[in-house]
Amino acid sequence: MTDISRRSFLRGATGATLALPWLEAPAAALGRLAKSPAKKMAIFYVPIGVVRRAFFPGEKEATLPKFRGFDEKNRIKGIQYPSGFSPIEWTPTLGPLKELQEHITFITGLDRTFQSGTDVHAQCASCFISSAAPFTIKTSAWPLDRTLDHLVADQAGKDTPFRTLEFSCNSHKDNKESIYFDNISWYGTGHVAPSLRNPRAAYRRMFQTSGNSQLRNITDLVLSDARSFQRELSSSDRHKFAEYFDSIRAIEERMVKLEKMRGELQKTPLDEPAEAYLPRGEYIRLMGDLMVTALQTGLTHVATLMIGPERWDTPYKYESLFDKPRNHHQMSHNQSKFVEDLEKVDHFHMEQFAYLIRKMSAVRESNGTTLLDNTILTYGSGLGDGATHQYTKLPIVVAGGRGAGLRPSGKHLNCSDGTPLANLWLTQARAMGLELPRFADSSGPISQLLG
Amino acid sequence: MQKTALLSFSILALCLGLAPGALAQGDAFAKLIRPTFSKSCVKCHGKGTKVKGKVNLFALKSAADLAKNPELLEKLIEALASAEMPPEKEPPLAAGTRKGLVAELKELLRQAVGSQKSVVRTPIRRMNRFQYNNAVKDLFQLKVEVFPLPEKMMRDYGYFKPETGKMEPKVRVGSRPLGKSQLIEPRLAGVAPFPQDPRAEHGFDNRGDHLSLSPLLMESFLKLSRSIVNSPDFNTKRCGIWKSFFLEPKKAVRAAVKARLRGFLGRAFRRQVDEATLDRYTAYAGKQLDAGRQFTAAMRDVAAGVICSPRFLYLRERGDKGGDDYDLASRLSFFLWGSIPDKPLLDLAAAGKLREPEALVRQVDRLLKDRKLKRFCDSFPSQWLQLDRIISVIPERADNQEFFFGPYRASMHMMLEPLLLFETVLIEDRPITELLDSDFSYRSDLLENWYKGGKAGGPPTAIPFKRVPVTDRRQGGVITNAAVMTMTSSSTHTKPITRGAWLATVIFNDPPEPPPADVPELPEKPVKKDENLTIRERLAAHRDRPDCAGCHVKIDPLGFALENYGPTGLWRDKYSNGREVEPGGTLFRKYEFKNIIEFKDALLAEKDRFTRAFAGHLLSFALGRGLVAADAPALDRIAAASIAKGYRMKALVREIALSEPFLQNSLKKAAD
């Protein structure tokens, strides 16, 4: 992307420039903007933390942590890295990214604050990208409010068929955990944005446009009924009931937009997935493929992918790693026994992330840049370690995002102790065009990430 | 010992009864509450810098301070009545003081709650998947299911006849999650469900705060509605209202549309439909006819629209804002049938008669005798007992060969035993204490064998279960059965703390804090030096932190009491290392027990507490919300009334329906 087009696109997205005379010809401006690929954003969430010593440079010789609940004094302080950039020291878990160095920045030193009163696993996932600062939500035990992806989509998702897409690689059949363990995307407090777990269902939702006219037929009817129904509701119920209108509106808008894109979509490089059991790696990559395709085709500009639910003590088959089903959560609580296997799981997850980076960097967009260039793609977990359950020193890697003004440094960026993770989200939200004074408990943007 | 326990229980029951505070409010605070707090509590709760458990009793200056905080009052009553506080290492309260204090605090809570102006409302919520299936089935009078429902753990092969008031001595059931082809029930072809709704933590899958809508789900509802009415199975054979609704009338087609819709909408929306709404749907059908659609096709279209309408999809409580008998009718039918009310309920609501206690009780009894009660039995008991946990428990194969047969597992049979016990207690209106200790059970041949140490085997589908007497008191009830014992164990060993937490949550409705997880789970195999320890000793060595003791002193004795039941529920006297199992302990710091039978006696001695706890689970399910402090007085009344009626299950259900939180302002209106 040329400097000029990028700058005008960035400016065009901010309200402050509206007074500029050249923008008074919106049609022309739009025509010009349409040629530059849109800025996109995706989160790759890894559950249950990582084994620190295989992930963080210099911690290799550290003693293995004992199982700990959330307790300030038990957390691993880790290595004190110099502030700012330094070369990446390639640890086993970071290994799969080595060949992709030019696309990433490895970030350490980011923390979240745990708000006691809920399960650590549930909160670390459900509030990972929450826009609420801890202790500010009075109506819920969770410091949870409209999440980063949805705030960003308020702007970036205006013209896409799907404002956002949520994917989750949770194939468990037992219904044992609550929604808080399995969702990082939320419309608002208590209002989950449920994720697509089944690849085939996801595919059909994304690409099927048939039957739309029949749907529209019904939506007209039920919308008029809903309007009169709404008048009978108390104010608090009316507030919640807005979800009905929002949902119908989203569907209607999507139908219109999807129809416009139909020709384009028929060229998608992805076949409909079969209804079959998938080994874990294939499952994660297939959901990743769907996400990449959605971003590539412009079905959405904002997506989240949870590659597994938090806690959920049901064993998975990690075909390529172990011969028997294994329980990630249980292993994380007993590092002294399972550390080697856990490191395999962490490495395996990082390989999937590397797969996505590769895939996105191979997709060319209209002006010669790649899909990765135009997407801020973040790897992260809500726990700094699966055994200590610490919310500090989180494992974070950011890839791509040049088109949004980020600069993949190929380096290790250490933030000073106590830097809120929210600073990263603030940086990304602003790069995506949001004018936010702050995000959750952020103290300021991470300027080193910007180009 | 047993007698003493029973005696002290009856004294306690008297104290915990509804005797109002003996002192005037201000007096009670100055003369009893404050001095007792100062003497026995503030050392840890508020004086100086210590505020344990976030309870600050030092800061309380007047009865009004307490009355402002019903949650704190409830916490205090619970801690004092259960003798949890003051802790063991502190000087105990005199029995009289404790009794007086509890009575005064209860009175304060009653007054505090009574002065609140509005009732606690459950927020507006969509139906969950199970309710949606049932409601659609009932609305169209379908003879088949709408879509497969893993929510239902048991498949009924025709035994469920609540109208007889009797469970047959032999029943045929299937295990849906683990049995063969159990999900393949007759259902509508071409209809795919939306995802199952998760349970709330310590709650049910019908909770208002968990059931919201998203574009993803809304789209499911839109597509579902069309796929239902257009299914090839949606026809005169399987749809009970085909002739009266979908079949083209011989004459006066247009007039028929409106007349038919009036009745249909009334049932779908659970109330008499207003003209504007009726016109809206009639006009829609008319438009389809104008466009040349066949009558039946047009009615399919409009029916699809109706089941996407928020008036169908959403449940709401209007509380003070004009709630009426129609709301009550829905609350009742969704409670016991997981579905929309039928004509008799709607007719009574239309006449404004449902709120009359006699009529209401008659309706509760009628609903309890209807076969649709199966929906209640398919949702409440399995969620109350958290039985879905057994689906994912697979014992280590090498040590448990007898657990496996073909591709099946013994747990397939196990999970049905407590569910059948629950259904029997409900259908036969037996005392709920039999849930703790029953002298009968329903068992398959496999289970009979199993308890004798035999190997699993038998049919994977319609399994015969026989009612068998249980003379060995180590068996009987929902606690010590193989299902619960297996699902609270790991693949190789029992987990006493998990069992204790299960018992505290399920039986006493007092879930421990989420495991602070400050202590690791026991390693699957003991390290060398611990090989000769019992699990109790290993756990003790594991948890020496004083701040953990608070919870563990409560839940551990409950779990250790069950140690004689191995990881697959089989009785054992000794561990594999040769050490004797030590099940003894003390319940609520009051009842000493040496073995599981004495433990059961202790639980039975606390049957009033169990009754209130169980009533709490049931009320929460009935209301679709978590309970709050304001519900405590109602819960006291429900429990007391059920106890007076001999702990009968149906009495308890009736008392729930007659309770203030359930009636909401219907009751207030009736009193006006």
pLDDT digits (tens, 9 = 90+) for B388-412: 888 878 898 888 889 998 878 899 8
The verdict on A247 touching B (C-beta cutoff 8 Å) is yes
Chain A: residue nearest B521 by CA? A333
H/E/C letters for each residue in A435-446? CCCCCCCCCCCC
Chain B: residue nearest A251 by CA? B215
From CA A192, how far away is CA A421, in angstroms rounded? 22
pLDDT exceeds cutoff 70 at B66: yes
Contact A237 B316 (CB under 8 A): yes
Interface of A with B in 150-169 (CB under 8 A): 166
Angle at the Cα of A77 from the Cα atoms of A75 and A80, rounded to 5 degrees: 170
Residue B514: per-residue pLDDT: 63
Residues 6+ apart with CB under 8 A from B55: B45, B46, B72, B75, B76
**Pair B396, B187: CB distance under 8 Å:** no
Are residues A291 and A340 located together in one domain of the fold? yes
Closest Cα in chain A, distance from residue B14 (Å) = 35
Please report, for residues A188, B321, B399, B637, B661, the alpha-carbon distance to residue A233 in angstroms, rounded to integers and kept in the order given: 20, 9, 59, 31, 20
pLDDT per position as a tens digit, B599-616: 999 999 999 999 999 999
pLDDT per position as a tens digit, B629-654: 889 999 999 999 999 999 999 999 99
Tokens representing A346 are 């962490």
pLDDT per position as a tens digit, A431-443: 999 999 999 999 9
Are residues A16 and A53 located together in one domain of the fold? no
Are residues A135 and A2 located together in one domain of the fold? no
Interface of A with B in 278-307 (CB under 8 A): none
Mutate to test the interface with A, among B124, B126, B379 (most CBs of A within 10 A): B124
Token pair 């010789």: residue? A61
Are residues A122 and A136 located together in one domain of the fold? yes
Residue A68: per-residue pLDDT: 66
Residue B16: per-residue pLDDT: 41
From CA B625, how far away is CA B638, in angstroms rounded? 17
pLDDT exceeds cutoff 70 at B590: yes
Q: Which domain holds residue A307?
A: 39-196+275-449
Contact A215 B222 (CB under 8 A): yes
Higher per-residue pLDDT: B181 or A371: A371
Q: Three-state DSSP class for B211?
A: coil
Q: What does the pLDDT average to over B7-32? A: 54
Q: At what angle do helices B95-114 and B632-644 cross, to 10 degrees?
A: 120
Interface of A with B in 335-354 (CB under 8 A): 337
Question: How crowded is the C-beta side of B63, counted as CA atoms within 13 Å?
Answer: 22
Residue B333: per-residue pLDDT: 98
Residue B191: per-residue pLDDT: 80
**Pair B427, B648: CB distance under 8 Å:** no
Contact A69 B516 (CB under 8 A): yes
From CA A146, how far away is CA B132, in angstroms rounded? 28
Q: What is the DSSP string of A5-23?
A: HHHHHHHHTSGGGGGSGGG
Residue B26: per-residue pLDDT: 62
**What is the band of B93 on the pLDDT scale with cuts at 50, 70, 90?**
confident
DSSP B25: H
**Pair B640, B658: CB distance under 8 Å:** no
Among B199, B276, B308, beta carbon nearest to A178: B199
In a domain, A338, yes or no: yes
**Lowest-confidence region among A120-124, B21-25, B244-248, B529-533:** B21-25
Residue B561: per-residue pLDDT: 96
Contact B276 A228 (CB under 8 A): yes
| φ and ψ of A332, to 5 deg | -65, -20
The CATH number assigned to the domain holding A103 equals 3.40.720.10
**What is the band of A210 on the pLDDT scale with cuts at 50, 70, 90?**
low
Among B321, B392, B518, beta carbon nearest to A174: B392
Q: What does the pLDDT average to over A28-53? A: 80
**Pair B243, B249: CB distance under 8 Å:** no
- Ramachandran area for residue A409 (φ above 0: left; ψ -120 to 50: alpha; else beta): alpha
In a domain, A257, yes or no: no
In a domain, A339, yes or no: yes
In a domain, A445, yes or no: yes
Q: Which helix (H) or strand (E) holds A264?
A: helix A235-265
How distant is the alpha carbon of residue B58 from its chain centre?
37
**What is the band of A417 on the pLDDT scale with cuts at 50, 70, 90?**
confident
pLDDT exceeds cutoff 60 at B670: no
Tokens representing B351 are 């006449």
Are residues A28 and A157 located together in one domain of the fold? no
Residue B544: per-residue pLDDT: 63
pTM of the model: 0.79
pLDDT exceeds cutoff 80 at A31: no
From CA B87, how far away is CA B55, in angstroms rounded? 14
pLDDT per position as a tens digit, B429-476: 999 999 999 999 999 999 999 998 878 777 777 899 999 999 999 999
Strands (DSSP E) contained in A127-178 are 165-168
Chain A: residue nearest B220 by CA? A205
Residue A267: per-residue pLDDT: 76
Residues of chain B neighbouring A179 (CB-CB closer than 8 A)? 198, 210
Q: What does the pLDDT average to over A222-247? A: 88
Residues 6+ apart with CB under 8 A from A263: none
In a domain, A126, yes or no: yes
**Helices within B68-122 (DSSP H only):** 70-81, 95-114
Q: What is the tally of structural domains in chain A?
A: 2
Residues of chain B neighbouring A330 (CB-CB closer than 8 A)? 521
Q: What is the DSSP string of A190-217?
A: TEE---B--HHHHHHHHH--TTHHHHHH
Q: What is the interface pTM, i.e. ipTM, of the complex?
A: 0.78
Are residues A144 and A168 located together in one domain of the fold? yes
From CA B65, how far away is CA B79, in angstroms rounded? 19
Are residues A370 and A441 located together in one domain of the fold? yes
Contact A175 B301 (CB under 8 A): no
pLDDT exceeds cutoff 90 at A9: no
Residue A320: per-residue pLDDT: 82
Q: What does the pLDDT average to over A395-400? A: 98
**What is the band of B3 on the pLDDT scale with cuts at 50, 70, 90?**
very low
Closest Cα in chain B, distance from residue A70 (Å) = 7
The verdict on A237 touching B (C-beta cutoff 8 Å) is yes
Residues of chain A neighbouring B514 (CB-CB closer than 8 A)? 118-119
Higher per-residue pLDDT: B544 or B562: B562
Output the average pLDDT for chain B: 86
pLDDT per position as a tens digit, B330-364: 999 999 999 999 999 999 999 999 999 999 999 99
Higher per-residue pLDDT: A33 or B546: B546
pLDDT cut 90: percent of chain B above it = 53
pLDDT exceeds cutoff 80 at B180: no
pLDDT exceeds cutoff 70 at B556: yes
Q: What does the pLDDT average to over A237-257? A: 85
Are residues A294 and A390 located together in one domain of the fold? yes
Contact B310 A68 (CB under 8 A): no
Mutate to test the interface with A, among B206, B212, B223 (most CBs of A within 10 A): B212
Are residues A7 and A146 located together in one domain of the fold? no
Closest Cα in chain B, distance from residue A256 (Å) = 15
Residue A15: per-residue pLDDT: 31
Contact B218 A248 (CB under 8 A): yes
Residue A5: per-residue pLDDT: 31
Are residues A6 and A98 located together in one domain of the fold? no
pLDDT per position as a tens digit, A117-143: 778 898 999 999 999 999 898 777 889
**What is the band of B523 on the pLDDT scale with cuts at 50, 70, 90?**
low
Residues 6+ apart with CB under 8 A from A443: A419, A420, A423
pLDDT exceeds cutoff 60 at A34: no
Residue B522: per-residue pLDDT: 61
Closest Cα in chain B, distance from residue A444 (Å) = 32
Q: Which amino acid is at B19?
A: A
Among B177, B210, B214, beta carbon nearest to A247: B214
Residues 6+ apart with CB under 8 A from B11: none
- The residues that bridge with B154 in the sheet, in sequence order, are B175
pLDDT exceeds cutoff 90 at B326: yes
Residue A272: per-residue pLDDT: 82
Output the average pLDDT for chain A: 85
The verdict on A190 touching B (C-beta cutoff 8 Å) is yes
Q: What is the DSSP string of B316-376?
A: ---TTTT--HHHHHHHHHHHHTSS---HHHHHHHHTT-TTSHHHHHHHHHHHHTSGGGHHH
| φ and ψ of A418, to 5 deg | 80, 10
Higher per-residue pLDDT: A317 or A163: A163
Dihedral through CA A123, CA A125, CA A129, CA A132, nearest 10?
A: -10
Most confident option among A212-226, B265-279, B321-335 = B265-279
Residue B441: per-residue pLDDT: 97
In a domain, A244, yes or no: no
Residues of chain A neighbouring B389 (CB-CB closer than 8 A)? 174, 176
Residue A25: per-residue pLDDT: 34
Residue B253: per-residue pLDDT: 87
Are residues A349 and A416 located together in one domain of the fold? yes
Among B200, B222, B520, beta carbon nearest to A251: B222
Are residues A191 and A331 located together in one domain of the fold? yes
